[in-house]
Amino acid sequence: MGKVFFPQFRRGREGIKASQDSILDHARRLGVEIASECGGLGKCGRCLIRVEKGSRCLNEKTEEEKKHSLGKEERLACQARVINPTADIYVFIRDFGKYSILSESIETTVELNSFVIRKGDRVSHHSGEDLGPYGGELFGLAIDVGTTTLVTQLIDLEDGRTIATLARKNPQISYGNDVISRIGYTMSHEGGLGELQKTVMKVVNDSLEELEREKGEIRKYIYDVVAVGNSTMRSIFFGQDVSSLGVIPFEPLSSAPISKKAPDIGLAINPGGNVYGPPLIGGHAGADALADILASRMYEDENVVMLIDIGTNGEVAVGNKDRIMTASCAAGGAYEGATIRCGVGAIEGAIKNIWMSDHRVDYETIGGKPPVGICGSGLIDLLAELLRKGIMSKTAKLKKEFFIAEDISITQQDIYQLITAKAGLRLDQDLLIKYYGITLEGIEKIYLAGAFGNYINSESAVSIGLLPPAAEKVVKIGNGALAGAREMLLSQKMRAKAEEVVGRIEHIKPNEREKDFAYMVAEKMYF
């Protein structure tokens, strides 16, 4: 019996027993990450692989594959199916690369009062539950479960120190680039929810196991966890049904906070450890947006501020200590490289900054590596420069394909994807300001949260209309979701504050409130 090998990945080097399934299915079983934004339908073309050995064991190229410009040995992982499992197959993934994942966040301080404490030679939960003998350490985990990335911090609960930060791609990307695709997978595949939940849990467990090899025994000393994410990601993390988020009115079955014992969700920490998921705001605005609000302190601000978290999903909040309004939209994966022909995630070799002088294009790449594509911050710079130089019109028209480097270019179709992705997010910003009853001048600060917001050039983002025309007000707070999760891990007061604040947040759905919403989005597509 043959095996399927993925030599680029440590876990894929020993291979997996070949069966009559797709290469994407084999990768999923191994925990090997292959981007598949369409969820394995063969439409997006992102799961591009090269079959170095064993191609004769696969089916012929499908009609879906023939729609893409594939090389002789190239296939789509979702379409390449093993028909002869008796020989070995070696697979290389095109979009393999080390991701640059934001783990830094705004520095916040809280009064240390965690839910797990040491009482003499015993460890106890604040509820009074005895968790066993004190073994010399008392740790907790703060986890930001993003659609594309997953960041985990190991925290010392006795002094608040961050011991280690672990950043990985979210392996659920092989089930679809956005939350709608993943929701769809859970609805169309028996056991799909459990499969996705186990996938994300495995990467957390693997990260902790890897950390133990470096620092010694850790997992048995982890007693408390706080996990945040948008409504879909947080719910899947805890194994909760997400089907209601995929159909009108796009609301979670429950927005309430959730607590489970670690073994109940497959998290390999101390068996008595508790895992807490903060409440969801509403719709697709989840516990990550609530954590952003905590970290920014907008809930106690005298002045009105705006908070924008740009990712595969976009969240906007406007408010202060008296009133907070939020809105969310599917920003899509365009600015994370998806749906853009030469777009890539924030991997080594991704073009991250672009500037033009005369007719020359200059750029920087992540890690200083040779260019492999353009990531989100580079795409924003590129649009701004094309607009500034008159190469692209204010109606977003490009005369011809524009090359940044050899084999790396942007097309009119790419432009359309980018302006569509930015239009909804910008409209939410403008409408929330209007609903709040103020003007842009009445906003004291604009907080940008998340990796994308952290790395973009604010001036470029303003010039293409992704952000309001107030670059001087922009304050970048890094991974605010992770910072808020850390606060809730270290402080009972902050956890109670989160549950109090969420009760007074007004979540608005502009698409339901505005009868001409589609027309208003279209207006925001242009510059």
Would you list the domain boundaries of the chain? 3-93, 116-288, 342-410
Query: Is pLDDT above 60 for 101?
Result: no
pLDDT at 92: 81
pLDDT at 176: 76
Average pLDDT, stretch 470-488?
A: 93
CATH superfamily of 3-93: Beta-grasp domain (3.10.20.30)
pLDDT at 32: 82
pLDDT at 98: 55
Fold agreement (3-93, 116-288): no
Task: Report which of 429, 359, 347 is spatially closest to residue 389, judged by C-alpha positions.
Answer: 359
The rounded percent of the chain whose pLDDT value lies above 90 is 64
Query: Is pLDDT above 70 for 444?
Result: yes
* Residues 147-203 pLDDT 10s: 888 999 999 999 999 999 888 888 887 787 788 889 999 999 999 999 999 999 999
Q: How far is CA 118 from CA 7, 113, 139, 221, 485, in A?
A: 45, 11, 11, 12, 22
Of 187-196, 341-350, 436-445, the range with the lowest mean pLDDT is 341-350
Task: Report which of 184, 296, 172, 190 is spatially closest to residue 234, judged by C-alpha positions.
Answer: 172
Average pLDDT, stretch 464-487?
A: 93
pLDDT at 24: 93
Query: Is pLDDT above 80 for 511?
Result: yes
pLDDT at 344: 77
pLDDT at 61: 93
Query: Cβ(52)–Cβ(73) under 8 Å?
Result: yes
Of 154-168, 297-311, 445-459, the range with the lowest mean pLDDT is 445-459
pLDDT at 74: 84
Query: Is pLDDT above 80 for 358?
Result: no
Query: Is pLDDT above 60 for 104?
Result: no
Average pLDDT, stretch 72-88?
A: 91
Band of pLDDT at residue 144, cut at 50, 70 and 90: very high
Distance CA 378, CA 280 (A): 32
Query: Is pLDDT above 70 for 105?
Result: no
Query: Is pLDDT above 80 for 33?
Result: no
Distance CA 319, CA 331 (A): 22
H/E element, 119: strand 116-119
pLDDT at 489: 97
CATH of domain 116-288: 3.30.420.480
The number of CA neighbours under 13 Å toward the Cβ of 51 is 27
Task: Name the residue with tokens 């989005």.
Answer: 521
Identify which of 58-72, 104-118, 315-329 has the greatest average pLDDT. Answer: 315-329
Bridge-based pairing state of the strands 274-277 and 222-229: parallel
pLDDT at 172: 86
User: How many beta carbons lie within 10 A of that of residue 266, not counting itself?
Assistant: 15
Average pLDDT, stretch 214-219?
A: 92
Alpha helices in 333-392, H assignment, sequence order: 376-388
H/E element, 223: strand 222-229
The rounded percent of the chain whose pLDDT value lies above 70 is 95
Whole-number average pLDDT of the chain: 89
Task: Name 319's bridge partners.
Answer: 305, 324
Distance CA 83, CA 81 (A): 6
What is the model's pTM?
0.83
Distance CA 300, CA 303 (A): 9
Query: Is pLDDT above 70 for 331?
Result: no
More confidently predicted of 212 and 107: 212
User: How many beta carbons lie within 10 A of that of residue 406, not counting itself?
Assistant: 7
Distance CA 276, CA 269 (A): 14
Query: Is pLDDT above 80 for 37?
Result: no
Average pLDDT, stretch 251-267?
A: 96
More confidently predicted of 131 and 106: 131
Query: Is pLDDT above 80 for 446?
Result: yes
